[in-house]
Structure 1
Amino acid sequence: MLDEPWTLSPSVALRPEPFGALAYHFGNRKLTFLKRPELVAVVRGLGDAADVRSALVAAGIPDSQHEAYAEALRGLATTDTIRPRHDAGALA
């Protein structure tokens, strides 16, 4: 996952909260709490980053925490909060 391009699902809206953000999926009506502002920064940055690792670096996440964040992102992928991005060639 770390070396793959991902993005926020177009069906998801993020609402900033003091603890991080609420992610609401308009398609499946799933409400997800993003409990860390750093995770919100990563999720918001996915669409502009070449891959997940680049989004983590841009958000200031230390290398030692990349796998933990990747695990959190895998969880978000199971609810279609984030999804694989297939336009990676457009970034090159």
Structure 2
Amino acid sequence: MLTQAWRLSDSVSLRPEPFGALVYDFSTRRLSFLKTPTLVDVVRRLAASASVQDALTDAGVAEGEQPAYLSALHGLATSGILTPQETQQ
């Protein structure tokens, strides 16, 4: 996942909150939570980043904290909140 490009799924909306954000998937009607503002920042940066690593670096996530963020992003991808970016040809 670290070297791949990801983005929010088209059916997903983020609503910023003081603790992070509410995540709502309109296709599954599933509500999730991003529990830190930094995680919200990483998720928002994904679409403009060439890889998850780039999004983490650009959001200022320290190398020692990256495994926790990767775990959170993996969970979001597994639930369909994140989707791989299509490669441009």
TM-score, length-scaled by structure 1: 0.92
Q: Could you say which residue in structure 2 is the equivalent of 1:79?
A: 79
Runs of 4+ residues deviating >3 angstroms: none
Paired position in structure 1 for 2:58: 58
What fraction of aligned residue pairs are identical, expressed as a percent? 51
Q: How many aligned positions are there?
A: 89
Instruction: Give ranges in structure 1 of 5+ residues lacking alignment.
Output: none
- Root mean square deviation, CA, Å: 1.0
Partners of 2:67 and 2:49 lie apart in 1 by: 17
Gap runs ≥5 in structure 2: none
Q: How many Å separate the matches in 1 of 2:78 and 2:29? A: 14
2 CA distance for matches of 1:26 and 1:78?
16
- The normalised TM-score by structure 2 is 0.95
Structure 2 distance, partners of 1:23, 1:12, is 7
